[in-house]
Amino acid sequence: MIYLDSAATTFQKPASVAAAMWDALATMSSPGRGGHSAAMRAADTAFQCRSELAELFHLDNPEQVVFTLNATHALNIAIKSLVPPGGRVVVSGYEHNAVTRPLEALGANVAVAVCPLFRPDAAEDAFQRLIKSGVSAVICSHVSNVFGFIQPLEAIAALCKSRGVPLIVDASQSAGVLPLDGKALGAAYIAMPGHKGLYGPQGTGVLLCGDGVQPRPLLEGGTGSLSIQQQMPDFLPDRLEAGTHNMPGIAGLLAGVRYVRQRGTKKILDRERQLIQQAADGLSRIPGLCVYAEPGMQNQTGVLSLTVKNQGAEELGTALAERNIAVRAGVHCSPLAHRSAGTLNTGTIRVSVSDFNTPGEISRLVSAVRRIRARK
Amino acid sequence: MEHYLILARSVTYAQRMQKVLNRAGVRCQIFRAPRDLSNLGCAYAVRIATVDLTAALTSLHAASLDPVQIFLYQRGLYQEVHP
């Protein structure tokens, strides 16, 4: 299979990830739940994973790294810690339902920083107009999961800092691909999946907590600490990690993080951009396709969307799946991004790559689309 | 054998202490604290040799990792100390 759906989950992982997961199943129990060797081995692995994530994202303290089920879980903790029911929130025009649905559930008063695709200057202007005192939080998807559009995160973080408004970053598409400096950004929370650009397994996510935050747990339960007390501990990571940890997942995530650190995010980004540029060049020569690519790709990562004249996105996606090429068709759980880009009625076909894709695979994708379109 | 147990609020905190102490050249091990040492329930502690207490506390304080409590193990008994 040619797998081009890495914006959902990276499918090809470093071999070390599966090996680490097997090792965890064979040798680890639960961290913080005993002094025997299986518990301590789990604790060592969890701590190592927190420490390496803290180093990758420039945080001083591994206790600020919280393991979650996925980015959605992490975002829910962050949003529900900062936004009261009916609170005022500013979001980018490219947010995922992982942000907009929790806000809807809270009845938040949401202002959208609307901007055209690949116009970070317009995004910054829009945030500049909307971030005011009294806003409970600004929430920004670093990179759009539909279009690969990179939001001007540093500028938005600076605006938040200067106006005293906490920032939540959805780094679902940027963690492991773009540099992300938690300390310099000063964000209250940065949420990310473990199973995309960090190459860990599904069922892993991470919430990076900024200095001085007071998060509200979504779950209460055992933490292996302060066991007699009936309130959740007030310290991290225990406050947000009730219940047994996903140790095979955390061990796999550690192996994935090590792969990213060894390769370097710049090399990974360069490779992904080259592949997406190749796809954009090839696909844009096919009549009837509208390809959403930025010339030069300065504000785009390894994600590319396209629409098709006289053919539904799902229809083309199915035809590619029949040829063993995996892309994603539809709205990608991000109606707000489609509304901003004007593609809500059609949806898009999304091509998203990882460090494991090759130029040959992109050539086969372009050839397959050309053949499918020639039959129309 | 006489030693000190430096109580930590969690296993992660104890691991941070261990990392700082190892960097400072202080040998230590993480243990589950005996139940009667903590009135808040399960806890972890870092065990160090008695001669290392001053160096350990200096390093931990410099890293803003202050202990919850410190106990001296002597003649089969733990006794809280306040150095």
The confidence score (pLDDT) of residue A188 equals 98
The confidence score (pLDDT) of residue A267 equals 98
3-class DSSP state of A300: strand
CATH number at residue A60: 3.40.640.10
Over chain A, what is the mean pLDDT?
Answer: 97
d(CA A4, CA A317): 11
Query: Token digits for A357?
Result: 């894709």
The segments of chain A whose pLDDT lies below 50 read none
Q: Do A258 and A279 fall into the same domain?
A: no
Q: What is the DSSP letter of A216?
A: P
pLDDT tens for A18-63 read: 999 999 999 999 998 988 999 999 999 999 999 999 999 999 999 9
From the centroid of its chain, how far is CA A12? 17
Task: Verify whether the Cβ–Cβ distance A229 to B40 is below 8 Å.
Answer: yes
Q: Do A277 and A256 fall into the same domain?
A: no
Q: Do A139 and A160 fall into the same domain?
A: yes
Which of A95, A79, A75, A96 is CA-nearest to residue A87?
A79
Helices (H), A181-239: 182-185
Number of Cβ atoms within 10 Å of the Cβ of A353: 29
Query: Token digits for A21?
Result: 């997961």
Q: Do A191 and A326 fall into the same domain?
A: no
Q: Check CB contact of A218 with chain B, cutoff 8 Å.
A: no
Q: Do A320 and A241 fall into the same domain?
A: no
Domain boundary among A218, A248, A263: A263
**Which distant-in-sequence residues (6+ apart) come within 8 Å of A53 by Cβ?**
A59, A62, A65, A206, A208, A257
The confidence score (pLDDT) of residue A19 equals 98
Tell me the shortest Cα–Cα distance from B3 to chain A, in angstroms.
Answer: 18
Greatest extent of chain A over all pairs of C-alpha atoms, in Å = 70
Q: Do A38 and A142 fall into the same domain?
A: yes
Q: Do A214 and A225 fall into the same domain?
A: yes
Q: Do A6 and A28 fall into the same domain?
A: no
Rounded to two decimals, the pTM is: 0.97
Q: Check CB contact of B15 with chain A, cutoff 8 Å.
A: yes
Q: Do A223 and A362 fall into the same domain?
A: no
Domain boundary among A232, A263, A294: A263
Q: Which residue has the tokens 């460090």?
A: A355
d(CA A192, CA A166): 17
Number of domains in chain A: 2
Domain boundary among A263, A286, A315: A263
The confidence score (pLDDT) of residue A238 equals 97
CATH class for the region spanning B3-81: alpha beta
| Burial label, A97 (beta-carbon count in 10 A; 0-12, 13-18, 19+) | middle
The confidence score (pLDDT) of residue A15 equals 98
Which of B61, B49, B69 is CA-nearest to residue B17?
B61
d(CA A13, CA A32): 28
Tell me the shortest Cα–Cα distance from A110 to chain B, in angstroms.
Answer: 37
Q: Do A279 and A293 fall into the same domain?
A: yes
Cβ contacts from A onto B, under 8 A: 59
Query: Token digits for B76?
Result: 């089969």
Q: Do A31 and A89 fall into the same domain?
A: yes
Tell me the shortest Cα–Cα distance from B46 to chain A, in angstroms.
Answer: 12
Closest residue to A235, CB basis, from B10, B40, B44: B10
Residues of chain B neighbouring A50 (CB-CB closer than 8 A):
12
The confidence score (pLDDT) of residue A64 equals 98
Domain spans in chain B, listed from the N-terminal domain onward: 3-81
Task: Verify whether the Cβ–Cβ distance B9 to A228 is below 8 Å.
Answer: no
Q: Check CB contact of A26 with chain B, cutoff 8 Å.
A: no
pLDDT higher than threshold 90 for residue B83: no
Q: Do A283 and A222 fall into the same domain?
A: no
The confidence score (pLDDT) of residue B38 equals 83
User: Parallel, antiparallel, or unpaired for β A65-68 and A205-209?
Assistant: antiparallel
Q: Is A158 left (phi over 0), alpha (psi -120 to 50) or beta?
A: alpha
Q: DSSP states of chain B as a string?
A: --EEEEEESSHHHHHHHHHHHHHTT--EEEEEPPGGG-TTS--EEEEE-GGGHHHHHHHHHHTT---S-EEEEETTEEEEE--
Task: Verify whether the Cβ–Cβ distance B13 to A63 is below 8 Å.
Answer: yes
Closest residue to A43, CB basis, from B9, B11, B41: B11
Name beta bridge partners: B30. B46
d(CA A198, CA A48): 15
| Residue B26 · residue B54 · CB < 8 Å | no
Residue of chain B nearest A61, judged by CA positions: B16
3-class DSSP state of A138: strand
Query: Domain range holding A307?
Result: 2-10+264-374
Q: What is the mean pLDDT of residues B52-67?
A: 96
